[in-house]
A = this chain, B = another copy of it.
Amino acid sequence: MHRRHFARTLAAAGLGAAVLGLPTPLAAAPRARRVLPDADRVLARLRALRPFGLQPSGGLSRLGFSEADRDARVLVSQWMRDAGLTPRTDVAGNLIGSRAGQRDLPPLLLGSHIDSVPDGGHYDGQLGVVGALEVAQTLAESRIALRHPLEVVVWANEEGGLYGSRMVSGQFKPFELAAQSLSGRSIEEGVVFLGGDPSRLDAAVRRRGEVAGYLELHIEQGGTLEAVGDTIGIVEGIVGIRGWTVRVVGRANHAGTTPMDQRQDALLAAARFVDMVHRTVRADGGRAVGTVGRIEAQPGARNVIAGTVTCTLELRDLDDAVIQRLFAQVQAGAERIGQETTTRFAITEVHVNPPAPSDVRMRALVAAAAHGAGLRARAMPSGAGHDAQSMATIAPMGMIFVPSVGGISHAPGELTHDADCAHGVRVLLDTARAADDTLDG
């Protein structure tokens, strides 16, 4: 059964054994001594991270560049040492624990993040960091050497906009240093706060060929794996994201004296916009998603018709052409709503992440590792953005998902069962070992 399922998984991911340069998929099964990660240590470390930014709701607010973020890094640095890694903070504020390889090769990177959204959950990012540490520590304790140097990376301020990984991949633009992060610090101040040096960001940049491969374990943050009963997601790629700020200008006026047919109600227009975005994306019928998550009406009083409304718009898909087509429809819809309501829409793009496909060899290695562990796996896109998408621009990237209960994420109720955390770390370990064997000759 496992063998058949594995073949189906590879086929679903558009893969065959050929991508591995191996005669059959099963040839990817570990040729070396099998070792297992310490699941209890993984779970204990996840628990140990919880207090850094814990909210009364039970959720986590460890905003990138915040005190809680910085304090948790001290703990992670200690764990790096425990895992036989030498920790340092690069100029971009990324925390990197490294150990040497047997050969003079570029390093294999395992990474994720420990910062969170406001009132988010305790698994997003955390699991990937703790999992990467566990891979390093299991290897060290088992005295297993890798050909490549190994680096465990805790990226700086992932949730704010993949800042640390974009600085490393060379995608970060200097003007962004002035932007405000949710911590209250600008990006520049935040990097300094974490121990980086924003005046020398060039020193953090890695070019194609300087990284052998990048692997990231992460919770799915959606409900697909749980719904179909699979344990491992073989990530096909990370969807592209475009973000806009939408400003609707009407006319503020008295809510009692202005007849319904004489209003230029910016909140009415914005409300129709929110509904139209939802209907437009659903009507498209694909896997694209569109969200308005933030809204503000001015002046914002019970007895005043809103004069201006500002809201966000975000569209995501694996194919940027789909995003662009949907946005054109949304723009046309906004135009129509503006005419109906005598308001004016101004939509400004503020954020672009291009889609980032994973490396086909990495997909096959993840599939093989899942198969080797007897775990059901499926190929799937990542709807969420991840630091892996930055790394995909400079190195072969692979990503492993484990199920999120109820598909809940970025919320206090975020949960991945203990067993699935352990399964994910095991697949990460085996994939990393296989990648060490396979990549760069």
Contact = CB atoms under 8 A, between A and B. Distances in A.
A287 B223 CA distance: 48
Given A259-B289, A271-B270, A411-B253, A278 B265 contact: yes
A267 B290 CA distance: 13
Interface of A: 117-120, 159, 182, 220-223, 239, 241, 243, 251-262, 265, 267-268, 270-275, 278, 281-282, 287, 289-307, 312, 314, 316, 351, 382-385, 404, 407-411
A408 B297 CA distance: 18
B117 A222 contact: no
A313 to B, nearest CB: 8
Given A119-B299, A291-B303, A293-B302, 10 more contacts: A222-B257, A239-B256, A253-B407, A253-B410, A255-B293, A256-B385, A259-B289, A267-B292, A293-B301, A293-B303
A435 B297 CA distance: 44
A275 B278 contact: no
5 contacts: A221-B257, A223-B258, A268-B274, A293-B297, A302-B314
A384 to B, nearest CB: 4
B304 A312 contact: no
Contacts of A297: 293-295
Given A222-B259, A253-B410, A295 B295 contact: yes
B306 A293 contact: yes
B295 A302 contact: no
Nearest to A119: B299
A223 B264 CA distance: 13
Nearest to A273: B271
Contacts of A312: 302
A254 B293 contact: no
B267 A295 contact: yes
Contact of A384 (B257, B268, B411): B257
B411 A117 contact: no
